[in-house]
Structure 1
């Protein structure tokens, strides 16, 4: 055994131990978040006025008899004390059973699998577009002089404050009604994806651009950037090869939150553009008091958010060695 290998093995074991500890902490946090989301959803949905038994029978207009309502409550365990219902619901979730939709009479898991694809395509397309717009805006506003900086900051603040429903209405009025370029509702093709993607991406791009611009300005004054300028490297090369990577780190860390934000925004966007997906399904389920669907959608969104947070955290560790070395105290 060479001296180098004797040094390498303890270092490798130390890195594996830190990685295992990091994964355990994230997994423990994920379990806690899923439990908290399930608990809050269970009690919040029961604060909505109405009787879940009527939802099972088709809604308040079903004119079901009292005997029928009592039978449904007994069949679904709705006549049990609230604490017992809560424990039963947790037990079903632990076994992977999301239940059956009250209104649609189909397994919730099958329904979510059929709807999640459209929402993820919309959210990921919006996230990619928001990243592209934020990068372009931050590079232009920090490298185009005072006028570009002032205009860029104004664009960032304005776009970040735009509500989805207002932006969607404006985009439909301009690109569908006035110009006739794009369909006002989802058609299942690429054209029907453009306006919903823009509606979700523009406000997020404004927020990400604010973060990137501030970090980019700080990075351009860092000692390693000054050294690169002293070596004669061009300003464009400094920004693209050195400064941009460091400026994007906070935005990478926020991408997990951003995806959760986009999926929650899909509730409004999918409804406005008549696009099938989790958001529209959730809105309909809340209206009908379809507890299994509401619980399943919220848990699925929480799971996607947790997975994206872990992925972006890992990406940040790979992109910035300082995060890894900080764990060792060096």
Structure 2
């Protein structure tokens, strides 16, 4: 177990380093002068004076060699310093701490709803004996995956806010304001979970030990929930860890559609103004979210299937 944990921790550190390195390269090696882009703040770069760009270049260390810039910024990031926003001058970590609670609330609600909906569709589709119902339920995930997030959000707002006036269309005040954004963000994730879980259940139900249990008189429902679910839950659980980082990307669209404060709106504003430190901070936050969630999922895997530790244990010479 210790070797398994150390291996996962090493992989987590490597992913964080790679995410920082790629974001640094993409944001600071793009064509154009980063100091001019930041001084313009998303406006007309022709109005920026040389004195302004030189001051910003010195302030952010852009006048240093590229390798020195990378090493300095990486060292600061390790110590929790992600720089300051070009627009407001506020530390990026402070901006992220302010915006994170609202987005975390939305992401947690969306992931919980996605797990419930996706698992329910997969289990009902796998347990029912009615062929038409099974085909209907197992076709829903394809529909959910193909529907764009912004379109789903606009449809929900039009129907449940403007037409029937059940939920508020905008803002973040109270639980009712969380329902529509969470549903919008959860539907694509639920569709993916349902697809993977249903396929995994079909594979598990075709195993010989399942057929033996059925031949001995066990009911299909008992075999499904007593044996197949546990073995079939590893692929969808892995998918949940992968989707955790994607929730932040989806939050950019959802929080913009529903006018909610959070990481999504901060990202949209930073991209519009080309606020490079904030954009890089959001990228790193997404990588940290992905790493922590994946690490938690990896620690749960051995509880579901102890053979995972055995397969990852290094071979001992005879």
> Quick check: TM above 0.5?
yes
What stretches of structure 2 of length at least 5 have no aligned partner? none
1:67, 1:327 → 2: CA distance? 57
2:38 alignment partner in structure 1: 55
Matched, 1:205 2:187: no
Q: Secondary structure at the match of 1:60?
A: coil
What stretches of structure 1 of length at least 5 have no aligned partner? 1-18
> Aligned-pair distance for 1:64?
4.9
Matched, 1:106 2:128: no
Aligned mate of 2:259, from 274, 280, 304: 274
1:97, 1:308 → 2: CA distance? 23
Deviations along 1:153-173, whole A, 9 cap, x unmatched?
321111112111111111111
1:276, 1:94 → 2: CA distance? 27
CA contact (8 A) 2:149 2:253 kept: yes
2:33, 2:168 → 1: CA distance? 37
1:147, 1:51 → 2: CA distance? 58
> Aligned-pair distance for 1:186?
2.6
2:273 alignment partner in structure 1: 288
CA contact (8 A) 1:142 1:148 kept: no
Residues 292-311 of structure 1 aligned to structure 2 (within 5 Å): 292-311=277-296
Aligned mate of 2:66, from 61, 68, 82: 82
2:224 alignment partner in structure 1: 239
Aligned residues: 311
1:168, 1:50 → 2: CA distance? 37
> Aligned-pair distance for 1:134?
1.2
Residues 1-330 of structure 1 aligned to structure 2 (within 5 Å): 19-46=1-28, 47=30, 51-53=34-36, 55-56=38-39, 60=43, 63-144=47-128, 145-327=130-312
1:119, 1:224 → 2: CA distance? 44
Deviations along 1:54-100, whole A, 9 cap, x unmatched?
63575536945432332232232223343332232223223332111
1:192, 1:50 → 2: CA distance? 42
Which deviates more from structure 2 when the two are superposed, residues 87-96 or residues 157-166?
A: 87-96
CA contact (8 A) 2:127 2:224 kept: no
Q: TM-score, normalised by structure 1?
A: 0.87
Q: TM-score, normalised by structure 2?
A: 0.90
Structure-2 change in CA distance of 1:232 and 1:119 (3 Å): same
Deviations along 1:232-271, whole A, 9 cap, x unmatched?
3333222222222222221111111121121211111111
CA contact (8 A) 2:85 2:278 kept: yes
Q: Secondary structure at the match of 2:15?
A: helix
CA contact (8 A) 1:52 1:289 kept: no
Structure-2 change in CA distance of 1:161 and 1:101 (3 Å): same
Q: Secondary structure at the match of 1:32?
A: helix
1:4 alignment partner in structure 2: none
CA contact (8 A) 1:124 1:259 kept: no
CA contact (8 A) 2:82 2:277 kept: yes
> Aligned-pair distance for 1:49?
5.5
